[in-house]
Amino acid sequence: MGVALKSAVMAGVFLGSLAIASAQTQATAPTPPPSPQQRMREMAEFTKTHYTKHEYRIAMRDGVKLYTVVYTPVAGQFSDPGPYPFMMSRTPYSCGNYGNDVIQPRVTNNTTLLKSGYILVCQDVRGRWESEGKWVEMTPSKDGKGIDESTDMYDTVEWLLKNVPANNGNVGIQGISYPGFYTAASIVDSHPAIKAASPQAPIIDLWMGDDAYHGGAFMLDGNHSFYAPFFAPQKNPLKVEPKNDFDFGTKDMYAYYLGMQTLANLDTPKGGTNEYFHDQIVHTTYDSYWQERNLAPHMHGVKTAVMAVGGWFDAEDLSGPVKVFHAIDKLSPEAAANTLVEGPWVHGGWARGPGSSLGDINFGSEAGTFYRENIEAPFFAHYLKNVDWTPLPKAYVFETGSNVWKKYDAWPPKQAVAKTIYFQPHGGLAWTEPQERDSKDEYVSDPAHPVPFTEYTTDDIPQRYMDDDQRFAARRPDVLVYETEPLTEDVTVAGPVKPKLKIASTGTDSDFVVKLIDVYPNDYKDASEDEAEGKHVTAAPPVFLQGYEMMVRGEPMRAKFRNSWEKPEPLAPGKVTEVEFTMQDVNHTFLKGHRIMVQVQSSWFPLVDRNPQTFEDIFTAKPEDFKKATETVFHQVDAASGVELMVLPK
């Protein structure tokens, strides 16, 4: 018997015994909610009996045909007799099950939507899977002067309205991540029949804080692990994904990327490269390649109601929802509505599971379930079916820390005030500027021993790292730690986080990673700890939240981009230099008795690629170019370092 099978059998015996004991001692225990697997099986059975599948290849205005699968409601199976609106998603990841009768819509996981009756439409975008044409990374918008995602959507809507019977003339579109980009791109100069759109975790600007680069630093593990084993060029049309033989050879990604040494070594057959990954790493500045792929300046002519959705702990596309929300406000004031929804979720977490916790942190309620039933389903029902509802606020956001939903008429909230919290001598952090005339901290940053982004070994980016305990990092000599005294009242931060550092380096370039952290009290008591205390632990040890250092937000900044994203500049060794940047938005309350902490370091590996700490194009850097550097952070009268926060008044 194999080890895995043996473990499974033993686990089954144990769980079976546990279930019997539980039944004997807790006969009236409530029935647990269905698991995600159970929900999937239930929905599979539902769609089999309630939808009929139709496959089409719809010609665009240039003759290219896009594969489109349409699932129509079976007559008499829904309380809504129809006619029905369209609910659509456009994807580069496959609509699946080509040329067969398998009913598996890849449009939404929201059971309330599926059971209320919509015509479900999934479309493979140009150059992917069964669609013709050439695929382009984040198709640049042509602003009405050529073919782009907006024109493809327009042509598709025209065809659907004329050729799919029993439709009510209304179209909705939604998608998560890359399909979120296609949702946003599809509503530029939108077709009048599109009445509701929800770009969810949309990629809006790949280089500027989305998947590819953050603060000018390459998001190494996330991108390489996406392109090398998974996302590659295709020869279309294509029904079955070609086999990919790439193998990392280890589950330890820290060791793997350190062993590969350079970006250039990853851009080889051994590194599993392809032309998509190559493009990501050779364009190391915010050049025309990236600028033309920034969708935000093109969000004009949006007529539909829009609900941008994101998660405060999204490790991939945290900035997209906020950026598309602001872009539509600025460029399309005529939009029927424009709302931002943010919850305590990882990438796509609002679309699956209860959304009640992440890692060790519990959010006190099922925020995912609440969103699907009380926000998303009513939004589409109102705009596509004319169902009465209570209109959404401008911003409907979950406040972590206090664990409550908040409604605002703007984002960030109009009442939020910018306040800087300053680094102090001896690791202090306070709202007052430091008074010392000569005060600083130093550490040695060694690219051969970079600071890891998790305490544990991982074979992929764990989504939970976004609110993980940072005590492991605080123990390293190459991580600076600043924290307040225990708070005497709650402090709520709502909006972007802006580090303002005064630094010096012995290198000609360096990264500065800043982490905003919520430190739990040393006497914190968590209800789950009663079950763990005093018990013999044979598996992973229990996690106690006393002194827990919960990351609220963390971001890197590559110092050579401090003055320009397009034209990097070297640091002058030893010279005091300002490094200021904007981190992603937060909505978090640091509760009374907690502490606010800021950590500063110069590597975050392998989440972020290593900086050689010499001024050069990192793609061309050789192993011998990576040098140690002494980093200095000042906190004195003429060189005060701190972090600007948007603080809500009491």
- The reported pLDDT for the residue numbered 584 is 97
Mean pLDDT of all residues belonging to the chain: 92
Q: Is 3 or 380 the better-scoring residue by pLDDT?
A: 380
**Do the domain assignments include residue 309?**
yes
Pairwise CA distance, residues 358 & 496, whole Å: 22
Which range of residues forms the domain containing residue 431? 417-524+543-647
Domain count, the chain: 2
Q: What pLDDT band is residue 349 in, cutting at 50, 70 and 90?
A: very high
Q: Are strands 361-362 and 595-601 parallel, antiparallel or unpaired?
A: unpaired
Residue 247 lies in a domain: no
In the chain, what percentage of residues exceed pLDDT 70?
Answer: 92
Are residues 147 and 156 in contact, defined by beta-carbon separation less than 8 angstroms? no
Please say if the pLDDT value at position 124 is more than 90.
yes
Instruction: Give the residue among 407, 350, 354 at the shortest CA–CA distance from 377.
Output: 350
Beta strands 428-430 and 417-424, pairing class: antiparallel
DSSP string, 262-327: SHHHHSSTTTT--HHHHHHHH--SS-HHHHTT--GGG--S--SEEEEEEETT-SS-SSHHHHHHHH
Helix, strand or coil, per DSSP, at residue 483 = strand
pLDDT of 136-151, one tens digit each?
999 999 999 999 999 9
d(CA 636, CA 434): 5
User: Which whole number is the average pLDDT over 184-192?
Assistant: 97
**Residue 45, pLDDT score:** 85
Confidence band for 31, pLDDT divided at 50, 70 and 90: low
Say what the pLDDT of residue 4 is.
37
CATH of the domain at 88: 3.40.50.1820
Is 133 contained in some domain?
Answer: yes
What pLDDT is stored for residue 191 in this prediction? Answer: 97
Looking at the fold, whether 90 and 174 belong to one and the same domain comes out as: yes
Position with higher pLDDT, 270 vs 13:
270
Q: How confident is the model at residue 104 (pLDDT cuts 50, 70, 90)?
A: confident
Residues 561-573: tens digit of each pLDDT? 999 999 999 999 9
Gap between the Cα atoms of 555 and 601, Å rounded: 10
The answer, yes or no, to whether residue 78 has pLDDT greater than 50, is: yes
Over residues 329-335, mean pLDDT: 97
In a domain, 18, yes or no: no
pLDDT grade for 643, boundaries at 50, 70 and 90:
very high
Q: Would you say residue 278 lies in a domain?
A: no
Confidence grade of residue 210 (pLDDT, cut at 50, 70, 90): very high
Cα separation, 397 vs 407, in Å, equals 6
If you average pLDDT over residues 501-526, what whole number do you get? 96
Are residues 313 and 421 part of one domain? Answer: no
The pLDDT, as a whole number, for residue 3 is 35
Per mean pLDDT, which range of 10-24, 339-353, 422-436 is the poorest?
10-24
Residues 321 and 427 in one domain: no
- Distance CA(23)–CA(20), nearest Å, equals 5
For tokens 């050779």, name the residue: 282
Task: Please tell me whether residues 478 and 612 are part of one structural domain.
Answer: yes
Examine the domain organization and report whether 56 and 152 are in the same domain: yes
Select from 325, 345, 365 the last residue of a domain: 345
Could you give the C-alpha distances from 421 to 162, 429, 487, 499, in angstroms and in order?
Answer: 59, 7, 13, 10
Q: Reply yes or no on whether the pLDDT at 29 is more than 60.
A: no
Decide which of 345, 369, 404 is a domain's last residue: 345
- Contact of 207 with 286, CB cutoff 8 Å: yes
Rounded Cα gap, residues 129 and 242, in angstroms: 11
Confidence of residue 16 (pLDDT cuts 50, 70, 90): very low
Last residue of a domain, one of 345, 377, 408: 345
CATH number of the domain enclosing 455: 2.60.120.260
Residue 374 forms part of a structural domain? no
The verdict on 338 and 423 lying in the same domain is no
Each residue's pLDDT tens digit, 432-455 = 999 999 999 999 999 999 999 999
Instruction: Report if residue 238 sits inside a domain.
Output: no
The pair of three-digit structure tokens given for residue 600, joined into one six-digit string:
């500063």
pLDDT band (50, 70, 90) for residue 544? confident
DSSP assignments along 125-181, one per residue = PTTSTT--S---TT----TTSS--HHHHHHHHHHHHHHHSTTEEEEEEEEEESHHHH
Residue 119 inside a domain? The answer is yes
Q: Are residues 486 and 617 in the same domain?
A: yes
- Res. 20 pLDDT band, cuts 50 70 90: very low
Whether residue 169 has pLDDT greater than 90: yes
In a shared domain, residues 428 and 314: no
Q: Could you read off the pLDDT of 243-271 as tens digits, one per residue?
A: 888 999 999 999 999 999 999 999 999 99
Q: How far apart are CA 375 and CA 477, in angstroms?
A: 46
Query: Do 478 and 561 have their domain in common?
Result: yes
Q: Residue 102 has what pLDDT?
A: 87
- Residue written as token pair 């926060």: 645
Cβ atoms within 10 Å of 363's Cβ, excluding its own: 21
Higher-confidence position of 102 and 3: 102
Contacts of 607 (CB under 8 A, 6+ apart): 219, 220, 221, 222, 453, 461, 465
Do 602 and 511 touch, CB atoms closer than 8 A? Answer: yes
